[in-house]
A and B are shown apart, each in its own frame.
Chain A
Amino acid sequence: GENVEQHPSTLSVQEGDSAVIKCTYSDSASNYFPWYKQELGKRPQLIIDIRSNVGEKKDQRIAVTLNKTAKHFSLHITETQPEDSAVYFCAASPNPGNTPLVFGKGTRLSVIA
């Protein structure tokens, strides 16, 4: 089955700096790669996703890149703000319409003002 590795487990950055979180996956059949932000006690919130036919996607300060050959994808947050502090999870799935997401272990991001 799919296995998703996520690094780093914790990340501290100064406000205004960039943050990068990286994930690798094992199943070449996976074709959907979402990123979630989770605040304490709340549900995961989808912040950006990418499909296997796209190499990069950007939404304001957030971008995701995908390298299918190397089986890795990354989340980039620019101009970080204190409210970006949370736990971020990457995930992968070969068919999210009827198969579950496999999550990475998460990255705790702290943005220091």
Chain B
Amino acid sequence: GAVVSQHPSWVICKSGTSVKIECRSLDFQATTMFWYRQFPKQSLMLMATSNEGSKATYEQGVEKDKFLINHASLTLSTLTVTSAHPEDSSFYICSAPQTGGPSFYEQYFGPGTRLTVT
């Protein structure tokens, strides 16, 4: 099946600093990627839809100036958490549908990035 990677798998940063998370589709092209956030013992909540070559679409309540998304190529989307605060500590997961692939309906998830802000 298709593979999506994320880097880093975990990161600890100090309050006020910025952190960049990468999401890569390794063996397929993804014109669209989705970023989710998952707090402990909760479900996955969509943060934004990342579109290659255009601006991301953010969900209501997600600050676009705080969570910067760049989808610069057909295999890479990045999420930058700017001026991170402890309440941003969470599990961030990306997913990508395989555009034009044999399994049209399946979305492939990255392994997630555990962010801890101290």
Count of A interface residues, CB-CB < 8 Å: 21
Q: How far does the Cβ of A57 sit from chain B's closest Cβ, in whole Å?
A: 12
Given A41-B114, A97-B97, A98-B32, A105:B43 Cβ within 8 A: yes
Let me know if B43 and A46 touch, CB within 8 A.
no
B88-107 contact mask (Cβ, 8 Å, vs A): 1 or 0: 00010101010100001111
Contact A106/B111 with A96-B106, A98-B97 known, Cβ cut-off 8 Å:
no
Please state if B97 and A44 are interface contacts (CB–CB under 8 Å): no
**In-complex Cβ contact of A102 among B46, B97, B110 (8 A):** B46
Number of contacting residues on B, CB 8 A? 23
**A43 engages B109 (CB within 8 Å):** yes
Kindly list chain A residues whose C-beta atoms are within 8 Å of the C-beta of B75.
none
Take A103-B43, A105-B42 as given contacts and tell me if A43 and B112 are in contact as well, using a CB distance cutoff of 8 Å.
Answer: yes
Which residue, A34, A43, A89, A103, has most C-beta atoms of chain B within 10 A?
A43
Residues of B within 8 A of A49 (CB): 105-106
Q: Quick check: is B34 within 8 A (CB to CB) of the other chain? A: yes
Within 8 A of B (CB), among A44-89: 44, 46, 49, 51, 89
A104: which B residues are within 8 A, CB to CB? 43
Query: With A44-B93, A100-B46 given, can you name 8 additional A-B contacts, CB distance below 8 Å?
Result: A49-B105, A51-B105, A96-B97, A96-B104, A98-B31, A101-B34, A103-B44, A104-B43
| Chain A interface (Cβ < 8 Å from any Cβ of B) | 32, 34, 41-44, 46, 49, 51, 89, 96-106
- CB within 8 Å of A: which residues of B? 31-32, 34, 42-46, 49, 91, 93, 95, 97, 99, 104-107, 109-112, 114
